[in-house]
Amino acid sequence: MVKHGIIAVLIVSSLFSENIYERSCVGCHKELPTSLQEMFKRYLLVYSGEQNVKSALKHYLKHPLKEISVMDDLFIENYGIKDKTTLSDSDIDEALDSYWEKYKVFGKLK
Amino acid sequence: MLVLKNKDTSSLLRSEKKSLSRFLTLYATMVVLLITLLSLFYYQGKEKLMLFDQRAMLTKYAYIQTKRLKVLHHYFDERTEYPRDPRFKSAIYDLEYKKIFSLLSKEKIHFDEEVYIAGDTIHLVKALDEFYLGAKYLVIEIPNDGAWRGEGWKNIIGYGFLALLFFMIFGLYLAKMFLKPMRDSIVLLDRFIKDTTHELNTPLSAILANIEMMDTEMMGEKNKSKLARIAIAAKTVSVLYKDLTFLTLEQDRKNHDENIALKELILDRAEYFSVLVQSKQLDFSLDLGNANMMADRRKLTRVIDNLISNAIKYNKRGGTLGITLRQGMLLIWDTGIGIKKENIPFIFDRYIRFNESEGGFGVGLSIVKQILDEYHVLVEVKSSEEEGTSMVLRW
């Protein structure tokens, strides 16, 4: 009984310790052949600066369109475009901050 | 009361020099300004030419670095080593001008310029079409050896000096051309006086000699006073004649300096002018000590004659004319009309006259100053309008 209780507490705490990015983005993208890092690099290639990249991502999450996707046609043909996000603005911002921090180039070059 | 202490030779040449120096100062300022401006344009042109030359090479380096960035972008973050090249240094900045990575020695980037000089380096700012690693701007840096600058300065100094020299010679020529009419009028006046002086000599000598020879004992009082007036007039003309002769014919004559006992000389000249003094009913106040001076007697006589003559001419009727002599100092003063404060600095200028009521050419004091300067005698002029003037000579 005690053992079961500990397991339940661990599951709940691990769920709450994950940030919004981990919970809302990583799960779905695991299924795709293009990694989140590859997609980040595509955004960098097109939008450059932090604010520009974040704004573009936010706009795409809220209004996903084939025409403004950074992915190539073959990828879109096979996997389509994502559904409109259900996250609030603040959640999107938080998720994007985490995404940016994880894959940004700043401070990684030697 | 204003005191003038002036050791410079005051003549019309002074105003000529003044005009010349004013013109040349203005002209030189303009020329220097023009040359500086041209030098600046030349320097900027030279800099642009150098940057234009370097631009092709910098663009080639930017192209090479872009290719390397493309590869790094593809393999990021398995590979994180920023591409380096011994020929140049580089840096990448994002769209918001944030530094992504830099190897530059000069970190201040002018994103609004394509090629520019940054201290001892040259920068090329290349805006990328594709933002590899999020880089919008690629900056390439190479060292600036400054060889063009040394050559530029050499040319600026060399050609600038030559241009300055040319313009200054041209300016002198221009100045002389502008001053020619003034000089011509002076030469004309000098020539006129010279010619006139020649013609005065014979009749004046005849008048003075005949006055001396006339037997006044046989004359009535009326005729005596008439003769005295003729003598005054003749002596006045004689002083003027001697001044003009000195000015035009004798001033270049060699000096015969001797030790002159000034007391005797002044007494002699006072005697000469006594008729004029009496005619104006002046009180002659002489206080003469013993004093000597090494000078040419003829020149010193001109100085004393002119100073006494002026003290008589510009004195009030019934006034006083005083002469005080001490070793190293001679004071001649009067109780005359005085000189206006603003005119005192110009009284020794040639052809300058401030009082038209008395005759003359305005050459007397110019001669006095010329002689005093020659013998390094300091002259002080103290004058108050309607009170009188005193001239102090110190040697």
Q: Are residues B220 and B329 in the same domain?
A: yes
More confident residue, B196 or B111: B111
Residue B8 has pLDDT above 60, yes or no: no
pLDDT exceeding 90 applies to what percent of chain B? Answer: 45
User: Are A58 and A93 spatial neighbours (Cβ–Cβ below 8 Å)?
Assistant: yes
Q: Are residues B239 and B367 in the same domain?
A: yes
Q: Are residues B224 and B342 in the same domain?
A: yes
Q: What single-letter amino acid sits at B317?
A: R
User: Taking CB atoms and an 8 Å limit, are B95 and A47 in contact across chains?
Assistant: yes
More confident residue, A100 or B178: A100
A80 within a domain of the structure (yes/no): yes
| CA distance, residue A10 to nearest chain B CA (Å) | 33
Helix A36-47 to helix A89-103 angle, to the nearest 10 degrees?
90
**Nearest residue, CB atoms, B98 vs list A37, A41, A49:** A49
Residue A14 has pLDDT above 60, yes or no: no
- Last residue within a domain, chosen from B149, B169, B204: B149
- The HSE-up count of residue B212 (CA atoms within 13 Å, CB side) is 8
B356 within a domain of the structure (yes/no): yes
A4 within a domain of the structure (yes/no): no
Whether the CB of B82 is below 8 Å from some CB of chain A: the reply is: yes
A45 contacts in chain B (CB < 8 Å): 73, 130-132, 134
Q: Are residues B260 and B356 in the same domain?
A: yes
Tokens 């200054």 appear where? Answer: B168
- Last residue within a domain, chosen from B149, B174, B202: B149
Q: Are residues B144 and B227 in the same domain?
A: no
- Confidence at residue B250, expressed as pLDDT on a 0 to 100 scale: 66
CA distance B70 to B19: 74
Whole domain around residue A54: which residue ranges? 20-103
Average pLDDT (B61-78) is: 94
- Confidence at residue B244, expressed as pLDDT on a 0 to 100 scale: 77
A53 within a domain of the structure (yes/no): yes
Residues shown for chain A? 110
State how many domains chain A has: 1
A110 within a domain of the structure (yes/no): no
A13 within a domain of the structure (yes/no): no
User: Are A62 and A84 spatial neighbours (Cβ–Cβ below 8 Å)?
Assistant: yes
Residue A34 has pLDDT above 80, yes or no: yes
More confident residue, B380 or B248: B380
pLDDT band, residue A2 (cuts 50/70/90) = very low
- Confidence at residue B188, expressed as pLDDT on a 0 to 100 scale: 83
B177 within a domain of the structure (yes/no): no
B73 within a domain of the structure (yes/no): yes
B175 within a domain of the structure (yes/no): no
pLDDT band, residue B280 (cuts 50/70/90) = confident
E strand or H helix at B22? helix B12-75
**Nearest residue, CB atoms, B101 vs list A41, A46, A109:** A109
pLDDT band, residue B166 (cuts 50/70/90) = very high
A14 within a domain of the structure (yes/no): no
Closest CA to B275 of B230, B223, B314, B215: B230
- Last residue within a domain, chosen from B123, B149, B175: B149
| CA distance, residue A51 to nearest chain B CA (Å) | 8
Q: What single-letter amino acid sits at B206?
A: A
CA distance A78 to A61: 19
pLDDT band, residue A7 (cuts 50/70/90) = very low
**Of A37, A40, A44, A101, which to mutate for an interface test with B (greatest number of B Cβ within 10 Å)?**
A44
Tokens found for residue B200: 């005065």
Q: Distances in Å between the alpha carbon of B357 and those of A71, B344, B353, B360?
A: 110, 18, 10, 10
B206-259 per-position pLDDT tens digit: 888 888 788 878 888 888 888 888 888 888 788 878 887 777 666 667 788 899
pLDDT band, residue A9 (cuts 50/70/90) = very low
Tokens found for residue B283: 């009180």
B193 within a domain of the structure (yes/no): no
pLDDT band, residue A6 (cuts 50/70/90) = very low
Residue B163 has pLDDT above 80, yes or no: yes
Mean residue pLDDT of chain A comes to 84
- Confidence at residue B171, expressed as pLDDT on a 0 to 100 scale: 87
B133 contacts in chain A (CB < 8 Å): 44, 105, 109
**Nearest residue, CB atoms, A41 vs list B76, B82, B96:** B76
The CATH number covering residue B270 comes to 3.30.565.10
A2 within a domain of the structure (yes/no): no
Residue A5 has pLDDT above 80, yes or no: no
B352-370 per-position pLDDT tens digit: 666 655 556 667 888 899 8
Tokens 């005009």 appear where? Answer: B19
Q: In B249-302, at which residue ranges do the beta strands (DSSP E only) sit?
A: 257-261, 283-288, 292-296
Tokens 């007397």 appear where? Answer: B364
Whole domain around residue B312: which residue ranges? 214-394
Closest CA to B91 of A50, A62, A109: A109
Average pLDDT (A36-63) is: 93
A70 within a domain of the structure (yes/no): yes
User: Are B100 and B141 spatial neighbours (Cβ–Cβ below 8 Å)?
Assistant: no
Q: In A49-101, at which residue ranges do the beta strands (DSSP E only) sit?
A: none
B309-339 per-position pLDDT tens digit: 889 988 988 999 999 999 999 999 999 888 8
ipTM, two decimals:
0.82
Q: Are residues B138 and B225 in the same domain?
A: no
A47 contacts in chain B (CB < 8 Å): 95, 131, 134
B107-154 per-position pLDDT tens digit: 899 999 999 998 889 999 999 999 999 999 999 999 988 788 888 899
Q: Are residues B265 and B121 in the same domain?
A: no
- What does the DSSP 8-state code read for residue B357? T
Provide Rg for chain B, Cα atoms: 41
Q: How many CB pairs under 8 A join A and B?
A: 55
More confident residue, B319 or B1: B319
User: Are B113 and B124 spatial neighbours (Cβ–Cβ below 8 Å)?
Assistant: no
Distance of CA B266 to the CA centre of its chain: 38
User: Are B239 and B306 spatial neighbours (Cβ–Cβ below 8 Å)?
Assistant: yes
User: Taking CB atoms and an 8 Å limit, are A105 and B132 in contact across chains?
Assistant: no
User: Taking CB atoms and an 8 Å limit, are B73 and A45 in contact across chains?
Assistant: yes
| DSSP helix, strand, coil percent of chain B (3-state; round to 5) | 55, 20, 25
- Confidence at residue B73, expressed as pLDDT on a 0 to 100 scale: 94
